[in-house]
Structure 1
Amino acid sequence: MNTALKRHSQPKLSWWRKLLRCMLLAGVLFTSSALVIVTSAIVLEAPPIQVDQTTVFYGADHSVIGESHHGNKRYWIELEDISPSLIDAVISVEDREFYEHNGFDIPRIMSAIAANIKSGSKAQGASTITQQYARNLFLTHDKTWSRKLEEAFYALRLETHYDKEDILEGYLNTIYFGHGAYGIEAASKLYFDKSASQLTLSEASLLAGIPKGPSYYSPFSYPDRAKGRQRVVLASMEATGAITTTERQQAEQTEWELEPPGQLADERTGPYFQDHIEQLIESTDLNPQLMERGGLHVYTTLDPELQQLAEKWVELETPKDSDIQAALAVIDPHSGDVRALVGGKNYEESTYNRVIHAKRQPGSAIKPFLYYAALESGFTPLTSFRSEPTEFQTGTDGNTYTPGNYGEKYANDFIDLEEALAVSDNIYAMKTHLFLGPDALVNTAEKVGITTELDPIPSLALGTQGVRIIDMAAGYSALTNGGQSVKPRFIQKITDSQGNVLMEQKQETKQVLDPKKSYVLTDMMQSMFDLSLDSYTSATGASIAHLIDRPLAGKSGSTDYDSWMVGSSPQLTTAVWVGYDDNREMNHAQEGQVSKRIWAQFMREGLEDELKLAFSPPDGIVKTDIDPETGLLSSEECGPSRTIAFEAGTEPTKSCTDEMEKEAQDGEHRDQHENKLPEKEEKFFDRLKKWFE
């Protein structure tokens, strides 16, 4: 019996022995590997900890538009000359165990691994200051396990060959603080015009929070975000005992005295554009900190000559003695390449990029997207609605909406789509919007590249919801480009010092609209500059018509707070916005034409050396001379005519002379009726008289 039990237990014991041997073998291999890694870190020579190469930014013509001089324009400062508050702030928020670990913090790593496994991503990091320094000096910013292992190895090499003070000093002198400032001394001079040794607790805690997102937390561009990040840093300092609660509260309440950002413009071409390039790189694996290693070549889409002209006309046409702002975006409508960008009227006063980040009400500039949806629903350029003061029912609960035309001018008669677009009749737009249904305009705007979420409400037809300037330029490009949407492109590619491509962005186009309907709409949009348009009010582009010397299609827009002009030639699409950052009301009598003048002057000079091309119609388009009075085919007998583009099969087939003949016949019938009436009345009274006799 005992023998049987013994034989039965032998397989189980053998399994445990195998597991134990495997564990011992794994332990030996791990220990051996660790010894090899540590020995290699000790035996290999100390890695270099300074960089001095230059990263170069190129325009579309491959001319240099900006440089980042790593090492040459960086101020290296000794650790002992850096404010203790700054050192405490950085250690508290970035790596509290910096002086205790040997390059990497095992508990933090395990915690991050657990969090990433739970979330199914690699979003949460656990890099120490040493690891970050190693990554900035030697590695890419890919979130891969192989890169993490390399990072740990380089961190170990740094810890082996350098003192903690050397590592911290190097880190603080190379970390990126935004707006071209590398290192704490450069950042201190940039933001506060003082040495890093003179930083107060409030200033130090602000700067310590910036490297997490140099563009996102820029106190120049986003002071609210920077303030929130500062509170996080101060709370970390309080938690580590570096400051008291009273000191934290005082620092939070202290107002910053930032230097004006005038020094940021320096000699860069298109500073707003280049700031956005940095933001784009931040959002990819090529973090701007990678550029600290230097030697990169960033090829952009900017046209330096167009950029110069854009800045020139924004400066000349925008009032200087006012807080009013202006912004402009120029796109190649066929490729989506951004050729020029002006984020505000003065970069030295405000680095906030309104083209990319501001969401402003476009007013009537949204109407082309509405009228494209109308063409899809069967409208033609001659579809008519009555223009008159109108109260619109906006639901079943009795609510009403009563918009008006500018200056309260109405035709008090029927007007067609082309005329409504040229004079920007709001009543026609509202009737179209309600006829099509609430989602038609929303869907079209989304198709052409409007990225903000629009609500399908009645007033959307009059542009009462905010959109981005860059999106409006992209949206109008789709109309110009035969219905192909374009995604704005800023970077063509980035290469390293050896010419290896690190990142490349392809041009993205997609057919989203019908080419024929897009052309019909573009053809109608040229009417806003037509002084011959004899209507109840002038065309909205009449004030700049004298500056138009080539085929251009556009639409203006205005609200109480915004003024827009957006339009295209076959070669360029330009969107211009003017308004106040704080949404105060504009004086349209004095400021309402600024956006149009900027747009017209830029388009005229920017296209001066280009062929005066007409918009190219696709197959299936017919251009027909129309009598404006009747909306029928023109004839010499009917007077002046207008040439209008139609999709083949939707143009009128009757002549205005047919209408004249019909009116003549109707008039003749009326005359006969009127001539006979007295005779009948006489006979009636004669009969009545006889009846009484």
Structure 2
Amino acid sequence: STITQQYVKNALLSDDETLSRKLEEAALSMEIERTYSKERIMELYLNTVYFGNGASGIEAAANTYFGVSSSGLNLTQAAMLAGIVQSPSIHDPYENPEDAKKRRDTVIQAMLDEGYINPQTAETAEETPLGVIPKGDRPGEAAYPAGHFVSEVREWFLDNPEFGTTRAERAELLYGGGLRIYTTIDLNTQAQAEAAVNKFLPNPGFQGDPNDFSHDPDAALVTVEPRTGYIRAMVGGKDYFGDTDYAKVNLAAGKGHPTGSSFKGITLATALKQGIEADDRFPSPGQACFSGWCPSGGGGLGGSAKLEDCAAFSSNTCFAYLASKVLGPQKIRETAYDLGISQDKLKERDGSVNATITLGTYDTSVQEMASAYSTFANRGIRVDPVLVTRITKADGSVVFQNQHRQRKVLEPEIAYEESRILTGVITKGTGKDNANIGRPEAGKTGTVELKSGANSDAWFVGYTPDLATAVWVGYAQRVKAPDGTPLRPKDLGSVQGGKVPAQIWADFMKTALAFSPPTPFTQPVPKQTAPTIPEVRQFEPVEPPDIVQMPDVRGRGREDALARLEELGLKVTSRELKEDPQNEPGEVVNQSPLPGRALTQGAQVTIESAPGTQAVPSLLGLSDSDAKAALKRAGLEVKEAASPAPEGTVGPDGEPVGPGTVWSQTPAPGEAPPEDKIVEIRVVPQPGEAPTTTGPPAEG
């Protein structure tokens, strides 16, 4: 194809090899050649073509490979750049320097043949080394928000075979495909997270001197929406664009860090799954030994203690007893995997797992811990973390669309009891002094102590029904003394889970949730079971109705409020105001009765909302007809496909989705409605029903 066609393909069209695209490419190319000079077309092409190593456009390429502006390129540098465009991965001067030089010399020879240079200049140029700057010496890049999050998105894309067979193919699409990538990051929430970290740890960068108290430890933070899995903020270090050796290392992802007692939340869930109750008692001395392992520290309560107190005061010996004598480490690891922690982790070299898992001796990432605890917040329903919601090409065609999927990994009763017990960490336990944010919340502290007595890592992982956030404080540089002993300031109190990590968590959560009304953890309605022994009675007593408390739904979207109230078993009348310029479309502005009122299930309540639609409603678990009705109420249309749900897919109630039930929707619940007002849903087919797709008529 011609340079003009390449420019049209790179900047204006998709890569689809279809007849219509080829015809459109040819038509646009002819129009551009009629409109612009050859020099202008070449300029447009050079400003959009991909040169490899993340460089799109000639200016970025000159800066990446030679550390100069495009106007400062010499003959040999320009020839190399012209040569590698053909295939940036094959002619990569860092990975294949001999191939890159051969390609450059081919360009120089072509310039000689065309009369642009003389033989002496060509000979000198071909004898000149490539002269690319070392990768580590590249000039600083322009800063942008949420650098570590952007880096994580980049790696997600480059590792995803959905975008190309090889990493090189994916890189060419990412950097040269004219893509629009829609992510889950909320820049306001991101700024709030960074501000909270900087407030308590303004000067990170400890280098290993035990007497150096001028530098703070490093920190990382990830916050996740439990219902969607959307990562709304990610702090992976002080400054992604900083000059430290590890500035671009994402401390919130990757291999992770020892989690300390914050992992006890997962052991607790395992115990509850096995039928252990909050008031069951277990040994909790100051120190105890189990097969040669003698844990101490933590909140040793003396004698025996209730499970809920062991969690609140973080008794190491109590949880060691649970892991060693009651549950077994394998069951704890299985729960962790169910909650989304990578199956590459939590194991010894031979694949086994030790009882020390309960005290967080294995590395886990901040992102994984936030996601795992978000399942507790989401009533036992796991939604994997999401970085990207949608990717489109320059012509608007969709390359990727996130499909909202969820599965039940804990019974709702277990998740509720987990939250109730972990609330005690904040109301009376190790998080009491610093983690209380004045609304329903739950969480767990964690501190990793070295044999020297110094602390290496500290955590606070906590959540409300709206947000789950993990905070890690520790040392990015694992500095050691000559004898191999890790160096840490011995009395740096910030590296304790109940101190700075809890302070960062509370400061951030208060700000992030400032405009969200407090939401209680929803207690599941007990399942009715038939008596095992028949009883004969002259009359049956009337069971008293279940009592629920009217929540505060003001400020929430109409559909979100309806879902919350109906979940409590209330009958809702929804009224839309004719005018309301002060509130967001679809925002609930009034409710009756007011929050806190005790109601019987089935009671009638009323909400009033601003006109319009605030967000796409949740359709998951609804019947085909109910989903269509909900979209109609929201002023949206539906495109429906009948297709089988992946194994293990569950609805909001945690039960497997059945025939005629919505199991996936696009956009996800809570997202802004698409411009065409069409919401796509996937419905489990009825028995014998073939997969189908229906929807509004296409335009034109």
* Fold shared per TM-score above 0.5: yes
* Deviation at residue 165 of structure 1 after TM alignment: 12
2:185 corresponds, among 271, 291, 302, to 302
1:600 corresponds, among 503, 506, 513, to 506
Instruction: Say if 2:62 and 2:68, in contact at 8 Å, map to a contact too.
Output: yes
Task: Give distance in 2, aligned partners of 1:595 and 1:201.
Answer: 55
Unpaired runs of 5+ residues, structure 1, are 1-40, 50-129, 218-228, 394-399, 532-538, 623-693
* Deviation at residue 278 of structure 1 after TM alignment: 3.9
Q: Does 1:272 align with 2:148?
A: yes
Alignment of 1:496-645 (within 5 A): 496=393, 499-531=396-428, 539-545=429-435, 547-559=436-448, 560-584=455-479, 586-587=488-489, 589-592=492-495, 593-620=499-526
Q: Does 1:353 align with 2:259?
A: no
Partner secondary structure for residue 401 of structure 1: coil
User: How many corresponding residue pairs?
Assistant: 460
Instruction: Say if 1:179 and 1:275, in contact at 8 Å, map to a contact too.
Output: no
Deviations 1:476-512 (A, max 9, x none): 0111111110111222223456655443112221111
Distance 1:335 1:321, change over 3 A: closer
Distance 1:139 1:200, change over 3 A: same
2:230 corresponds, among 334, 337, 344, to 337
Higher Cα radius of gyration: 1
For 1:378, the aligned partner's letter is: G
Distance 1:137 1:548, change over 3 A: closer
Distance 1:198 1:556, change over 3 A: farther
2:138 corresponds, among 219, 243, 258, to 258
Task: Give distance in 1, aligned partners of 2:62 and 2:85.
Answer: 13
Task: Give distance in 1, aligned partners of 2:341 and 2:80.
Answer: 35
For 2:523, the aligned partner's letter is: P
Instruction: Say if 2:3 and 2:45, in contact at 8 Å, map to a contact too.
Output: no
Q: Does 1:285 align with 2:163?
A: yes
Instruction: Say if 1:362 and 1:464, in contact at 8 Å, map to a contact too.
Output: yes
* Residue in structure 2 matched with residue 234 of structure 1 by the alignment: 97
For 2:10, the aligned partner's letter is: N
Distance 1:595 1:612, change over 3 A: same
Partner secondary structure for residue 182 of structure 2: strand
The one of the two structures with greater contact order (alpha-carbon pairs below 8 A, sep at least 6) is: 1
* Deviation at residue 185 of structure 1 after TM alignment: 2.0
Which stretch of structure 1 is more off in the superposition, 188-197 or 560-569?
188-197
For 1:194, the aligned partner's letter is: V
* Residue in structure 2 matched with residue 472 of structure 1 by the alignment: 369
1:182 corresponds, among 44, 51, 56, to 56
Deviations 1:67-89 (A, max 9, x none): xxxxxxxxxxxxxxxxxxxxxxx
Task: Give distance in 1, aligned partners of 2:360 and 2:62.
Answer: 43
For 2:319, the aligned partner's letter is: A
Deviations 1:206-228 (A, max 9, x none): 999999999xx9xxxxxxxxxxx
Partner secondary structure for residue 223 of structure 2: strand
* Deviation at residue 558 of structure 1 after TM alignment: 2.2
- Relative to the length of structure 2, the TM-score reads 0.56
For 1:392, the aligned partner's letter is: F
* Residue in structure 2 matched with residue 99 of structure 1 by the alignment: none
* Deviation at residue 403 of structure 1 after TM alignment: 2.3
For 2:515, the aligned partner's letter is: D
2:353 corresponds, among 451, 457, 469, to 457
* Deviation at residue 410 of structure 1 after TM alignment: 3.0
* Residue in structure 1 matched with residue 617 of structure 2 by the alignment: none
Instruction: Say if 2:462 and 2:470, in contact at 8 Å, map to a contact too.
Output: yes
Unpaired runs of 5+ residues, structure 2, are 106-124, 165-169, 207-216, 449-454, 480-485, 529-700
- Relative to the length of structure 1, the TM-score reads 0.56
For 1:606, the aligned partner's letter is: A
Distance 1:233 1:610, change over 3 A: same
Instruction: Say if 2:300 and 2:316, in contact at 8 Å, map to a contact too.
Output: no
Partner secondary structure for residue 344 of structure 1: coil
Task: Give distance in 1, aligned partners of 2:329 and 2:177.
Answer: 52
Task: Give distance in 2, aligned partners of 1:204 and 1:376.
Answer: 65
Deviations 1:531-585 (A, max 9, x none): 4xxxxxxx2213304x421111011212243221111001111111222222345
1:446 corresponds, among 318, 325, 337, to 337
Instruction: Say if 2:10 and 2:177, in contact at 8 Å, map to a contact too.
Output: no
* Deviation at residue 246 of structure 1 after TM alignment: 12
* Residue in structure 2 matched with residue 194 of structure 1 by the alignment: 68
* Deviation at residue 597 of structure 1 after TM alignment: 1.4
Distance 1:506 1:378, change over 3 A: same
Partner secondary structure for residue 355 of structure 1: coil
Task: Give distance in 2, aligned partners of 1:204 and 1:460.
Answer: 56
Instruction: Say if 1:272 and 1:342, in contact at 8 Å, map to a contact too.
Output: yes
Task: Give distance in 2, aligned partners of 1:299 and 1:325.
Answer: 29
Task: Give distance in 2, aligned partners of 1:202 and 1:412.
Answer: 76
Deviations 1:302-330 (A, max 9, x none): 33322221121122222315343222111
* Deviation at residue 529 of structure 1 after TM alignment: 1.4
* Residue in structure 2 matched with residue 88 of structure 1 by the alignment: none
Instruction: Say if 1:311 and 1:342, in contact at 8 Å, map to a contact too.
Output: yes
Task: Give distance in 1, aligned partners of 2:301 and 2:283.
Answer: 8
* RMSD after superposition: 4.7
* Residue in structure 2 matched with residue 108 of structure 1 by the alignment: none
Partner secondary structure for residue 562 of structure 1: strand
Q: Does 1:136 align with 2:10?
A: yes
* Residue in structure 2 matched with residue 118 of structure 1 by the alignment: none
* Residue in structure 2 matched with residue 426 of structure 1 by the alignment: 316
Alignment of 1:1-400 (within 5 A): 48=4, 136-137=10-11, 140=14, 173-176=47-50, 181-189=55-63, 193-196=67-70, 232-234=95-97, 236-237=99-100, 256-261=136-141, 263-265=142-144, 268=145, 270-282=146-158, 283=160, 284-285=162-163, 287=170, 289-290=172-173, 297-320=180-203, 322-323=205-206, 324-349=217-242, 350-388=247-285, 389-393=287-291, 400=292
Instruction: Say if 1:136 and 1:292, in contact at 8 Å, map to a contact too.
Output: no
